[in-house]
Amino acid sequence: MILVLAGTKDGREIAERLKFKGFEVIASTVTDYGASLFSEGIKVHKGAMDELSLVNFIYKNNIDIVVDATHPFAKDVSINAINACNKTGIKYIRHERESLYYYNAIVVKSFEEAAEECKKYDSIFLTVGSKNLEKFRGLWEIGKKVTARVLPLSNVIKKCEDLGLKPKDIIAMEGPFTKELNYQMFKERNAEVVVTKDSGIVGGVLEKFEAAKMLGIPVILIKRPDINYPVVVTDVDSLINEVTKIGHKQY
């Protein structure tokens, strides 16, 4: 049995491809919305798991391979998965999106460093999601014009409001966003800088950079956390080959 930690579009594709190839698969995702995106025939576990609950899940479900296809910034989840695999003696494989660097990037190491860099600008467009939004709170509190683009979920909107953002400061939309749509949004908000995480091509980062280039504005790029993954693959075909090479039995 293969457990796919699937917090991303990549994770859903991997689970579907492995199932199609004849492997037994369980996909894990945190939210109801994430669980709803899988097609019929894929077993889905919904809810967050820490290291201990992941160890118990592995034993209970006879998991012998964990494929970590979580977001590049889900550091704690990946570390928990690596430790759980070490403790249970099973194989861990990381699917990592390729990291690219782009035109006019201001590369920073953390969300806090990004927020500090933003203080040089008056109009800021945040495309970092909602999880670390509080780290930018000081910007609107000192009078900066900040636009936060987030998922259109009620709990996310509430978090934005609780942090002091007004409705005019929030764009609640689900991506992916084209270069043209990014361009229109950045232009309409008179953005002087765009902030993004290094989520790779699948995460829509390239389209943000292309739109920013059209407007002649810089992009603050937050680097991924450093994690020492035991095994890393960067495309789905290589992942399936790796699973097959391990000798996992098909059903």
Edge-first strand order for the sheet with 105-108 is 105-108, 219-222, 193-197, 123-127, 145-150, 170-172
Q: How far apart are CA 142 and CA 139, in angstroms?
A: 5
Q: Which fold has domain 105-222?
A: Rossmann fold (3.40.50)
* Pairing of the two strands 170-172 and 193-197: unpaired
Residue 58: strand pairing partners: none
Q: Is the pLDDT of residue 250 over 50?
A: no
Among the ranges given (52-66, 167-181, 200-214), the one the predictor scored with the smallest mean pLDDT: 200-214
Q: Which residue has the higher pLDDT, 148 or 6?
A: 148
pLDDT band, residue 137 (cuts 50/70/90): very high
pTM, full prediction: 0.74
The closest alpha carbon to 2, from 68, 63, 93, 80, belongs to: 63
Rounded average pLDDT over 105-113: 94
Mean pLDDT computed over every residue of the chain: 89
Q: For 2-98+227-248, CATH number? A: 3.40.50.720
Count the alpha carbons within 13 Å of 93 in the hemisphere toward its beta carbon: 24
Omega of the bond leading into 176 within 30 degrees of 0 (cis): yes
Bridge partner list, 196: 127, 221
Is residue 6 within 8 Å of 64, Cβ to Cβ? no
Asked if the domains 2-98+227-248 and 105-222 are classified in one and the same CATH topology, the answer is yes
Can you tell me the distance from the alpha carbon of 85 to that of 1, in angstroms, rounded to the nearest whole number? 14
Domain boundaries, the chain: 2-98+227-248, 105-222
Render pLDDT for 163-198 as a digit per residue (tens, 0 to 9).
999 999 999 999 889 999 999 999 999 999 999 998
The pLDDT assigned to 92 comes to 94
Q: At which residue do the structure tokens 């609107």 appear?
A: 140
Contact 96, 227 (CB under 8 A): no
Residue range 10-51, pLDDT digits in tens: 888 888 888 888 888 899 888 777 777 777 778 888 888 899
pLDDT value at position 248?
Answer: 46
Q: Is 185 helix (H, G, I), strand (E, B) or coil?
A: helix
Residue 100, pLDDT > 70, answer no
